[in-house]
A and B are shown apart, each in its own frame.
Chain A
């Protein structure tokens, strides 16, 4: 009799479970495929920090997840946004309207991300922003249809600028890339410097992808500022640092603070040129065992070590797929709600969480570029100086201009 009861109970319980799964399967999936679009700069200035290797990172996540979700095959579309907001918004519009893309991943230039999230807003498509820096993406440009994952300009300013001011760098000269990202970073740095008792004594705004920085470095030198802050990215930052070295800024007693520097940039500069530079990063491949293990797999696939953006792409794709599986839905609103309700614990972040403004909050790191003597191989580049806890790193919700925050 007792035996009978157990069997019956098991049968009822399992039918519940089966029913539940079957129901999850049906309710929210819009069709018989889950489609993910990868949109990034595949050929220009920002190619190396995300680009084709970012697509590889995303495919690794899909593969690790098993290639399908809720019995639906996961398919990938990919396109080059050529750093153009126009190209990006027309591509994403086409993806949503004709290809029924459920999620857009990658998104590097801040102007591209802002344009893209304007298109996904109000649709069933979710955008996961990984490459971009502008903190305005989850501030005045926030939408219920996107999440900003890897980093933004707020912790970059907070981490690096605060550290440099603390070491006595009171007066700053800003060299800023003249578009959304540069302006956001400059604004965030100005705030941090001024609130820590320093001042901005001057600055220049240069066009994106400038070859020759000699004129700007000469102006920086003439300003007599303690610190030359570089609010630019990629090739612009690399060329700025080379030119600063050439014109002897260090010899004239000035410090160069590169506010956004990717692993790929430091690799290009080499430790000889970049040694001692302090920077803030969202992740470093050699930071712990789990990160190293994933970075090794990435290295096997691509022949390079992953940047923080590559790691963020993997992490956010994985969290998204888990959300689709758990909710049985591919609708942006359902999946984003799940993603916000569940903590992120993986090779990228421990205890990470998504706020109502779409910001994924996680620890950031203040790092220093190793000297040639300390660096053991071409990718052994950073020494982690300090961990900046997530709740101190990002813009507090109390300062938010995002209408989703009440």
Chain B
């Protein structure tokens, strides 16, 4: 049997693929954070709670209203995104002109309130969300058994990541957005409604978190604390990639998924700290992050 660093080759490829799957998932979540920070300079600490809300929205849509997964894939991000619009319009906008740290504190407080409320309502044991019929089962790749649903997560995450990057970096709308955050007075003089643009951007970023939640619902148990651990990891990913860099967030997400996946094979005890170790090293060597511009 071929061995790679003391692990059978087949097992090694399997772990690599799993790392890539988790990485795609990190990429999707850190993308939302990077969009919100890059364009609005808001450090969105309620991203984890909004991810959890996405999963719960899908769960409640199915269990209360009987609305299936495919519809929830669009509806849940829309609902949670609208909630994001309200948060931006009535809370974040009031503190937009002062230090960013206040935005961080506000969103962190919101996250605790949301998580606490859901814990009170639903308990922490979580609920099951079934894998949609079309995506059940798996494929035997020879070196591992790949559940179809996991492959689906990668496809959706990569398509969405590419789409968002394209929209922000290559389209006219993205251009307005970047210009509006650079110099909002000038853009408003040109007749662009910058406050509306800002509100919609925040809502969009929140919607991305919720989409992550819907994708996660069938593989993890839907529970109020599902976002709290993930949030910190995803923040580390954004910091490593360079705060606000969209390409950085996507590529670092994939990379960190792989790093974490391999740690789970070689030294599982360290799997929840390895990303932070990488973060510390990157901050020491390149304070602006791997893909950040300037310090």
- Interface set of A (CB-CB < 8 Å, partner B): 43-48, 178, 204-207, 209-212, 214-216, 218-219, 221-222, 234-235, 238-239, 242-243, 246-248, 252, 264-265, 267-270, 272-273, 304
Contact = CB atoms under 8 A, between A and B. Distances in A.
Given A221-B144, A270-B128, 4 more contacts: A211-B230, A246-B150, A247-B147, A265-B125
B119 A47 contact: yes
Nearest to B257: A212
Contact of B127 (A221, A243, A248, A268): A268
Given A204-B268, A218-B14, A248-B145, A264 B219 contact: no
B225 A44 contact: yes
Contacts, number: 113
A246 B11 CA distance: 17
A372 to B, nearest CB: 13
A239 B268 contact: no
B128 A215 contact: no
Given A206-B268, A211-B230, A238-B126, A219 B11 contact: yes
B124 A235 contact: yes
A212 B221 contact: no
A268 B128 contact: yes
Given A44-B225, A211-B229, A246-B219, A238 B11 contact: no
A110 to B, nearest CB: 18
Given A44-B124, A243-B219, A215 B269 contact: no
Contact of B145 (A43, A221, A304): A221
A212 B123 CA distance: 20
Interface string B107-123: 00000000010010001
B220 interface: yes
B193 interface: no
B138 A268 contact: no
B175 interface: no
A218 B124 contact: no
Contact of B261 (A45, A215, A221, A273): A215
Contacts of B229: 209, 211
A238 B225 CA distance: 14
A397 B129 CA distance: 46
Nearest to B264: A215
Nearest to B146: A247
Contacts of B8: 222
B59 to A, nearest CB: 12
A210 B261 CA distance: 13
A209 B221 CA distance: 12
A311 B158 CA distance: 49
B121 to A, nearest CB: 11
Nearest to A267: B125
B209 interface: no
A48 B127 CA distance: 13
Contacts of A268: 125-128, 221, 223
A241 to B, nearest CB: 9
A273 B128 contact: yes
A204 B221 CA distance: 21
Contacts of B264: 204, 206, 215-216, 219
B269 A247 contact: no
Contacts of A242: 128, 219-221
A193 to B, nearest CB: 21
Contacts of A45: 124, 225
A265 B127 CA distance: 10
Contacts of A43: 116, 119, 124
Interface in B179-238: 219-221, 223, 225-226, 229-230
B11 A235 contact: no
A210 B126 contact: no
Contact of B125 (A211, A238, A246): A238
B98 to A, nearest CB: 31
A18 B19 CA distance: 75
B230 A216 contact: no
Interface in B240-293: 261, 264-265, 268-269, 271-272
22 contacts: A43-B116, A44-B124, A47-B124, A205-B268, A206-B268, A206-B269, A207-B269, A207-B271, A210-B271, A210-B272, A211-B229, A212-B22, A215-B18, A215-B264, A216-B264, A218-B14, A218-B18, A242-B220, A243-B219, A248-B147, A268-B126, A268-B127
A397 to B, nearest CB: 34
Contacts of B30: none
B10 interface: yes
A214 B230 contact: no
Contacts of B268: 178, 204-206, 215-216
B46 interface: no
Which 8 pairs from chain A and chain B are nearest by CB? Answer: A268-B125, A215-B264, A207-B272, A47-B124, A48-B125, A222-B11, A204-B268, A48-B123
Nearest to B119: A43
